[in-house]
Amino acid sequence: MGNNSLTGQIPPELGKCQSLIWLDLNSNNLTGPLPPELADQAGLVVPGTVSGKQFAFVRNEGGTSCRGAGGLVEFHGIRAERLENLPMAHSCSTTRIYSGMTVYTFTTNGSMIFLDLAYNSLSGDIPQKFGSMSYLQVLNLGHNKLTGNIPDSFGGLKAIGVLDLSHNDLQGFLPGSLGSLSFLSDLDVSNNNLTGPIPSGGQLTTFPQSRYENNSGLCGVPLPPCSSGGHPESYNTRRKKQSVEVGMVIGITFFILCVFGLAMAFYRVKKYQQKEEQREKYIESLPTSGSSSWKLSGVPEPLSINIATFEKPLRKLTFAHLLEATNGFSADSLIGSGGFGELYREKRCNEILDPELMTQTSGESKLYQYLRIAFECLDDRPFRRPTMIQVMAMFKELQVDSESDILDGLSLKDASIDEFKEESSS
C-alpha cells in the first residue's frame, strides 16, 4: 500500500493480524502517532507463513524518485543481474543486497519482519513496545515528524538488518543497546537533533559519516571526536546521573519534611508551656482569704458537698416574690448575664436574707465569697473567667475553711416573712 494517497491514522487493529509479516505504508499522507499495538502482533504470527524460509533485502539508495526502504524477497541465490526482473530496479538507482539473514524456525512466537512507514507525517514518540518484535529485519521510520528519544528497547530487535530513523526530530542519545545488534547492516539516524558520543560497541562505528550527519550534538567515530572540555555523556552515564539526582531530590525532600515536623512539634510544645506558665501566673494572682491559697497542683480532688448543708429547710419563694424582689426583672436590678442565666440584685434583702448575716463585720462573709465567684464566672471577658477546675478549688477551700455549712446563711428563718417584719418593726 505504499506510494498512494492514504490519509488518516494507522489502524491499531493491524496488530491483531496473525498472518501479517509485511507492512509497507511508505509515501502516503498518514498522520497521528505510531500505534504501539503494531507490536502486539509479535506473538501472534502463526507457523507456516515464513517458517523455514530465508529472505534477502534489496535496499533502495533513497532520493525523491526512489522512496521507501526497498524490497524483501525470498532468498534463492539472488545475483545483481537478476534484479533487472524486479519492477523497482527500473526506477531506483543501484541497490545493495543483504543476505544471510536468520532462517525462520519459530512456531508460535513470530513477529513482523518488514515495517516501512517512511515518507508520511507521523508524529509523537517511537513506542517502546517496538523493541519486542524480535524477528523484524527492516524498520524504516524516516522522513516523518517523530520526536522524543530513540527507545533503549531497540536492543531487543535481534534480527534487525536495516534501521532508518533519518529526517525526524529525534532527540537525546544513541542508545548503547544498539551496539548489541549483531545483524545490523545499515543504520541511518541523520538529520535529527541527537547529541552525545556514538557508542563504540558493535557495528555503529563502521557506518559512513553520512548516516550520522546533521545532528549538531553527535560526536565520535565516524564523526569528529568529542571535545575533551565538553565531552558529552553516554546514555548509561546520563541514566546513572539522573538516578543519583532523583535520589538526592528525594533525600533532600525527606530531610526538609523531618525538619519541618520537628519544628512543628517544638512549636506546639513551646506554646503549651507558655499556656501553662500563663495559667500558673493567673492562679497565683487570684485573691486569697487569710492564709488560704488555691491548691490546683497535682491530681484534682473531686468536689464534695456535705449533705448536712440541706438539713435545714430552705424557704420556698414564689414567682411573685421574685417579681417583687427584682422589681419585675427590671434592667436596673440586672447585675450581669452569662451562659447559665441572668443575675439580679434583690431590692428587699431585709425580707429574704438573715439580718445577722448582713450585720457581720469580721471579714467578708462566705455568702459574698460565693457571690464573688459567681461574678467572676459571669465576666463579659471570657479570658477572665475561671476554669471549672478553678471554681471547684474555690468551693473546696470555702468548705474546708468553714466548719458550719456556708449555705446556712442563705436559709430562711423558721418564722414567716410576716413575723420577721413584726420583729424588725419593733
pLDDT tens digits for range 244-286: 888 899 989 999 999 999 999 999 998 888 888 887 776 666 5
What distance in Å separates the CA atoms of residue 352 and residue 326, rounded to the nearest whole number?
12
Reading the block at residue 131, the C-alpha cell is 523493541
Q: How many domains does the chain have?
A: 3
- Rounded average pLDDT over 167-177: 93
Q: What are phi and psi of 260, to 5 degrees?
A: -65, -40
Q: pTM for the full model?
A: 0.48
Same domain, 194 and 260: no
Reading the block at residue 393, the C-alpha cell is 478549688
Q: Which residues contact 67 (CB under 8 A, 6 or more apart)?
A: 2, 3, 26, 27, 60, 118, 119, 143
Q: Which residues contact 108 (CB under 8 A, 6 or more apart)?
A: 43, 46, 47
Using the structure block, give the residue that is written with the C-alpha cell 457581720: 360
Same domain, 331 and 410: yes
What distance in Å separates the CA atoms of residue 175 and residue 154, rounded to the nearest whole number?
8
Same domain, 281 and 144: no
18 confidence band (pLDDT: 50, 70, 90): confident
Using the structure block, give the residue that is written with the C-alpha cell 559519516: 209
Task: Please check whether residue 116 is in contact with residue 69, taking contact to mean a CB–CB distance below 8 angstroms.
Answer: yes
Which of 232, 265, 299 is where one domain is finished?
232
Same domain, 158 and 260: no
What distance in Å separates the CA atoms of residue 338 and residue 351, rounded to the nearest whole number?
27
Same domain, 319 and 215: no
Q: Which residue has the higher pLDDT, 366 or 422?
A: 366
- Report the amino acid identity of residue 349: C
Which of 220, 253, 285 is where one domain is finished?
285
Segments forming the whole domain that contains residue 255 = 235-285
